[in-house]
Amino acid sequence: MHGMAKRTDIVVFNPSGEKILLIECKAPSVNIDQKVFDQVARYNMVHKVALLAVSNGLKHYYCRVDFKNRDYKFIEELPDYFDLALTK
């Protein structure tokens, strides 16, 4: 990414091979803070996925990205995979 060796932890694809979810995983000892959200946002500049998840195994956060309005909203839980896979 931008000439640097970076990697995304998990990318989920639908049956058509389109990216539908980007997940950043941290160790349980890592606090989920703004730095972690900034990291997943940087990775998503490459992937351009509308659904993001961040987890340290103890706490999980999910959000939907609205590219058109350049905004995001946190959501309580991930949508069902089949709903995501069929509606993209």
- d(C-alpha 88, C-alpha 83), whole Å: 9
Angle at 12 between CA 44 and CA 16, to 5 degrees: 110
Provide the pLDDT for residue 1.
Answer: 45
Please give the DSSP secondary-structure letter assigned to residue 50: S
**Percentage above 90 pLDDT, the chain:** 66
Of 4, 11, 16, residue with least CA distance to 87: 16
31-64: pLDDT as tens digits: 999 999 989 989 999 899 999 999 999 999 999 9
What pLDDT is attached to residue 44? Answer: 93
CB 39 within 8 A of CB 50: no
6 token code pair: 């970076």
In angstroms, the CA 8 to CA 43 distance is: 7
Question: Does residue 86 carry a pLDDT above 90?
Answer: no
What is the overall mean pLDDT for the chain?
88
Question: 87 or 69: which carries more pLDDT confidence?
Answer: 69
Look up the pTM and report it: 0.83
